[in-house]
């Protein structure tokens, strides 16, 4: 497996970040690293995404900074030029997936049914996002969908929280979980980076408990 994806699996939780102002990128990355999750999926939902990725990648070179909500190959280029080490998308866009595979850029596209998973397999992917996880059927659905695709691992995202994340992480089909609960927009906006760091620490403890470490 690709080294970046391997590291994401070891970290266990990918904070999904929506930043409206790139000035928040540095203190947020600091809080994530200090709390023990040196990783972020910065979503291309806002204009500040590209600059935020650039700042995080420059100031925290050891951090796994990736781009989320990547819907076009042009966004892939912008994200990677800014320093993104991985790409995530809510769905499986064959054009975007092929583009990333050709360029050796780790991509984790969203899959919500067996046909999506088969497209991912055809492109040689070993990890896919499962989105929106809770709303689309949760862990029971992942276990059912994973059964025929023996080597495939899933990164559920959407509706994951400190309560249900344990059960996901304890399942051997789960590579890591994505979630925004520790980096909520209102906390970022209010500059509550200490609170974010504490929520991140709690998340790290949950990963350890779930994996029996
Ligand atoms: O924007 C994207 O590309 C997405 O994939 C959506 C996010 O992953 C989820 O919105 C996070 O879900 P929550 O943890 O429930 O907030």
- The protein residue with its alpha carbon nearest to ligand 1, atom 10, reads 158
- The protein residue with its alpha carbon nearest to ligand 1, atom 9, reads 158
Predicted confidence at residue 31, as pLDDT, reads 98
Separation of CA 86 and ligand 1 centre (Å):
16
- The protein residue with its alpha carbon nearest to ligand 1, atom 4, reads 90
Tell me the C-alpha distance between 21 and 11, whole Å: 26
pTM above 0.90, yes or no: yes
Residue percentage of the chain with pLDDT more than 70: 100
Mean local confidence (pLDDT), 10-22: 96
pLDDT exceeds cutoff 70 at 177: yes
The pLDDT tens digits for 100-156 are 999 999 999 999 999 999 999 999 999 999 999 999 999 999 999 999 999 999 999
Predicted confidence at residue 198, as pLDDT, reads 97
Separation of CA 157 and ligand 1 centre (Å):
6
Catalytic residues: 41, 129
Separation of CA 158 and ligand 1 centre (Å):
5
ipTM: 0.92
pLDDT-derived band of residue 1, with 50, 70 and 90 as boundaries?
confident
Predicted confidence at residue 213, as pLDDT, reads 59
Question: Which ligand 1 atom sits nearest the alpha carbon of residue 45?
Answer: 1
Mean local confidence (pLDDT), 78-86: 98
- Tell me what the pLDDT averaged over the chain comes to: 96
pLDDT exceeds cutoff 80 at 212: no
């Amino acid at each position: 497996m690709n080294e970046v994806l391997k590291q994401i699996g070891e970290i266990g939780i990918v904070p999904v970040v929506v930043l409206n102002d790139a000035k928040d990128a540095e203190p947020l990355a600091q809080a994530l690293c200090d709390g023990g999750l040196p990783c972020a999926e910065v979503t291309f939902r806002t204009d500040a995404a590209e600059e935020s990725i650039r700042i995080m990648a420059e100031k925290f070179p050891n951090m796994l900074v990736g781009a989320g909500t990547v819907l076009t190959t042009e966004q892939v280029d912008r994200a990677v030029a800014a320093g993104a080490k991985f790409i995530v998308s809510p769905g499986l866009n064959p054009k975007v997936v092929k583009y990333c595979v050709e360029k050796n850029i780790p991509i984790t596209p969203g899959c919500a049914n067996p046909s999506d998973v088969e497209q991912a397999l055809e492109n040689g992917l070993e990890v896919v996002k499962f989105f929106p996880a809770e709303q689309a059927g949760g862990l029971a659905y992942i276990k059912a969908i994973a059964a025929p695709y023996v080597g495939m691992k899933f990164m559920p995202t959407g509706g994951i929280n400190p309560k249900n994340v344990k059960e996901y992480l304890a399942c051997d089909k789960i590579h890591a979980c994505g979630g925004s609960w520790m980096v909520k927009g209102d906390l970022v906006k209010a500059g509550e980076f200490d609170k974010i760091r504490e929520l991140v620490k709690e998340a790290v403890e949950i990963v350890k408990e779930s994996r029996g470490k």
